[in-house]
Amino acid sequence: MHITAVHTIGVGSTGAPISDASRQNILRLLRTEEGVYDRAHARTLSVLSAWTYSDEGTFAAVMSRRRLEGCDYVEISTRNDALFFDTSAVLVQSPGRKLTILSFRGTQPQNAINWLTGVSARAEYFPAGGKVHGGFQRGLRSTWPVLQELLLAALNARPICDALAHSREKYLSPCGAAKPEAPVSMVPAPITDAIPEEKELLPSLYITGHSLGGALAVLAAALLYAQADAGVFGRDRRQVRSWIRGVYTYGQPMVGDAAFASMNGDLGKKLFRHVYRRDIVPRLPPRIMGDFMHFGQQYDSSEASWMPGTRPARQAISLGLSNLVGVLSWFTQDVVPLQWVRLPFSWGDHSPLNYMRTSLEAAPGEEFD
């Protein structure tokens, strides 16, 4: 397990003040009621989910430009090729510790087909009911022990960087070193007054991800709901559930079966799935791998950013045919004489760049500003 901590995005050693744009963005995220879709949040979270693929320095620089100055963030990742998982997650915490954003990295393009259609797609039982994609569940569970500690710290307005230090000592102490007796986060550092208005607001959690990251975001939210019901967080279940203000996913594949979708009806009210044009991934895994289905609210790309979907993405039938059509469509999109060919699925439409550009309503190149 690889554990990284990076402090105060966009502030650094100079202690420069947080911009008014960042302050307003953070407060808007905190003031939004649970289950309310917000285009500004879709922009922020699409950028965050896309840049979760990058290295830590690049991520911090982009988040500073995208109105998350002054936030702390930590990154954890786990990988085991034999067990079919390679999971990376980033947790962002606002200066006043009331806002938390959890973003999961998606799968790299060269591995997407194997992840979504290979042996790892075999369904497994989800602890609270229903069946889910086995590879997705193993990927989430591999990081959950540390993520759960960090989320517990965030829920209690404790610094995630301190909680991370405790986790690092617990899991990565040198041979013979004494184990920590109590979490470092039990004695929190003073809360900064960078955004004084945060003190009066309730804690808020947003979960996001692109591709595989979107699937992990849905599973993480479902697991938080299940653990809230089981009293794992030591809080009233309604308090923990209301902490999750929204789950924003981009190009997310199907996660579970009908029973899993039905069990998570309440979660579906705050799950916002974004689908760009003919992206093939929201139609996967194919039916030959088992019966999967979406839940939540779908938003489709349009000339005016995102619009409520009228035709929910349905599961593809054939494994080989779907992949063949998706690859051919990707090819025809880049060859001018063949761009008139309109195939039903496309791997080319799955790029996080498409989702970020649509969310930002940006001209080509502006999404990097």
Stretch 271-281: mean pLDDT: 94
Q: Give the whole-number percent of the chain exceeding pLDDT 70.
A: 75
Measured over the CA atoms of residue 212, residue 214, residue 216 and residue 222, the dihedral's sign is: negative
- What total number of domains does the chain contain? 1
Q: Does a structural domain hold residue 338?
A: no
Distances (CA, A) of 3 to 209, 350, 366: 19, 29, 32
Task: With cut-offs at 50, 70 and 90, classify the pLDDT of residue 248.
Answer: very high
Q: Does a structural domain hold residue 71?
A: yes
**How is the beta sheet containing 305-308 ordered, strand by strand?**
2-6, 72-80, 85-93, 99-104, 204-210, 244-250, 271-275, 297-302, 305-308
CA separation for the pair 39, 112 (Å, rounded): 28
Q: What is the CATH number of the domain that holds 129?
A: 3.40.50.1820
Which tens digits make up the pLDDT trace of 137-164? 988 998 999 999 999 999 999 999 888 8
Q: Does a structural domain hold residue 333?
A: no
CA separation for the pair 236, 220 (Å, rounded): 19
Q: Does a structural domain hold residue 332?
A: no
Token digits for 308?
A: 């409520």
Q: Are 347 and 333 in contact (CB under 8 A)?
A: no
pLDDT of residue 196: 79
Q: Are 300 and 313 in contact (CB under 8 A)?
A: no
CA separation for the pair 369, 366 (Å, rounded): 5
pLDDT of residue 161: 85
Q: Which range marks the domain in which residue 78 is found?
A: 2-317+351-368
Q: Does a structural domain hold residue 137?
A: yes
pLDDT of residue 337: 45
Least confidently predicted of 7-11, 61-65, 156-160, 187-191: 187-191
Residue-level length of the chain: 369
| Mean pLDDT value across the chain | 82
Residues sharing a CB contact under 8 Å with residue 190, sequence separation 6 or more, in sequence order: none
Q: Does a structural domain hold residue 346?
A: no
| Residue where the block lists tokens 């060859």 | 335
Token digits for 19?
A: 């911009």
Stretch 324-336: mean pLDDT: 48
In terms of pLDDT, which residue wins out, 315 or 271?
271
Q: Are 62 and 47 in contact (CB under 8 A)?
A: yes
Stretch 355-368: mean pLDDT: 73
Q: Does a structural domain hold residue 329?
A: no
Token digits for 134?
A: 């086995």
Q: Does a structural domain hold residue 46?
A: yes
CA separation for the pair 193, 184 (Å, rounded): 22
Amino acid at 119: V
Q: Are 244 and 205 in contact (CB under 8 A)?
A: yes
Long-range contacts of 222-225 (CB under 8 A, 24+ apart): 222/126, 222/128, 222/260, 222/264, 222/267, 223/127, 223/128, 223/140, 223/144, 224/151, 225/128, 225/264, 225/266, 225/267
pLDDT of residue 12: 46
- On the question of pLDDT at 247 being above 50, the answer is yes
